Amino acid sequence: MDICNTVDPETLYRTDLPLPDRREGKVRDLYSASAPGAPPRVLIIATDRISAFDVILPTAIPGKGRVLTEISVKWFEFVRTLGLIGDHLLSTDPADVPGLDDEARRSIEGRAMIGRLARVIPVEFVARGYLAGSGWADYERTGSVCGVKLPAGLRRSDRLPEPIFAPATKATTGHDENIDFDRAAEIAGGAVMERLRTVTMAIYNAAASRAESRGLILADTKFEFGYALDDAGRPTEELILIDEVLTPDSSRFWPVDRYEPGREQDSFDKQFVRNHLLELVEAGRWDKTPPGPELPDEIVASTLARYVEARDRLFG
């Protein structure tokens, strides 16, 4: 087994486990974790990689993967109490992954989610309660977000009159593209989109209320869903919530006490890294193409502190 650590022994940048079907995303490494006689399972490992502007940076954020996993698991537990939909999460115990020795299990402790394998629906299910990010860009250009017409005169970061469903395509490379409901229905099917729109907005509203009670605004978030596979690896009709849930990597969390419409908000995500990189771009020291620049120690420490504060505020 070859594990590449870039900052300290507790930092995991990339895994190379003796398991089949390895795939690597921007942050997560995935493997098959199927056991004989059981439905197909996937092992999802949250590394300490961080990406910005679709470039994976060479500097890790030590312990970020553990924090993200803890947040996601807590939110899965919360969503289960709502009784809206099943999910993929089966275990977080590396001992439940066949074929790993003790060293490999220790290396992924606190970072692993073992989930039911699913055929992913190729749509990002986004809920927006505030005008930010690509939603703000769409509104400035068209007065709408994903086909939803909004009142004139809204400011950046304004709270919307009511939360909206704002789907996007799932891009394999580059940026996701905002689409309207009709286009999403063409991709995934009208009945499926109707149901999952309802589920998305119900989870968002409940999570936003929970976050607000902890001093955080949940400005927007995205979910992924899929069809659970049966023992033979065939898609069933069972829709389940998959991937991560309501983490700072998939959501915008803002502190209530520093919220001020009309500007970009302080955020508990990687916006701190983006802002640093934009300074490099403006100075002509980077052009948003690989390889990305190394991050200074103070940026690394401040970024991790924001993830940790989000976890502690939400579930401390």
| Residue spans per domain, the chain | 121-225+247-258
How far apart are alpha carbons 96 and 112 in whole angstroms? 10
pLDDT, one tens digit per residue, over 185-228 is 999 999 999 999 999 999 999 999 999 999 999 999 999 999 99
pLDDT for res 6: 36
How far apart are alpha carbons 154 and 75 in whole angstroms? 31
Tell me the mean pLDDT in the region 279-306: 95
Is 6 exposed, middle or buried, given 0-12, 13-18 or 19+ CB atoms closer than 10 A?
Answer: middle
Provide the pLDDT confidence category of residue 172 given band limits of 50, 70 and 90: low
Tell me the mean pLDDT in the region 282-301: 96
Provide the pLDDT confidence category of residue 1 given band limits of 50, 70 and 90: very low
pLDDT for res 171: 66
- C-alpha neighbours within 13 Å on the C-beta side of residue 133: 26
pLDDT for 101 beyond 50: yes
Share above pLDDT 70 across residues of the chain, in percent, rounded to a whole number? 96
DSSP 183-219: HHHHHH-HHHHHHHHHHHHHHHHHHHHHHHHTTEEEE
How far apart are alpha carbons 136 and 132 in whole angstroms? 5
pLDDT for 8 beyond 80: no
Structure tokens at 61: 């954020």
Tell me the mean pLDDT in the region 15-19: 96
Share above pLDDT 90 across residues of the chain, in percent, rounded to a whole number? 88
pLDDT for res 3: 34
pLDDT for res 35: 79
Contact 119, 235 (CB under 8 A): yes
DSSP symbol at 124: E
How far apart are alpha carbons 167 and 182 in whole angstroms? 10
Mean pLDDT over the full length of the chain: 93
pLDDT, one tens digit per residue, over 216-260 is 999 999 999 999 999 989 999 999 999 999 999 999 999 999 999
Provide the pLDDT confidence category of residue 270 given band limits of 50, 70 and 90: confident
pLDDT for 23 beyond 50: yes
Whole-angstrom CA distances from 209 to 86, 253, 312 are 21, 12, 17
pLDDT, one tens digit per residue, over 24-59 is 999 999 999 987 777 899 999 999 999 998 899 999
Overall pTM > 0.95: no
pLDDT, one tens digit per residue, over 112-153 is 999 999 999 999 999 999 999 999 999 999 999 999 999 999
pLDDT, one tens digit per residue, over 59-93 is 999 999 999 999 999 999 999 999 999 999 999 99
CATH architecture of 121-225+247-258: 2-Layer Sandwich (3.30)
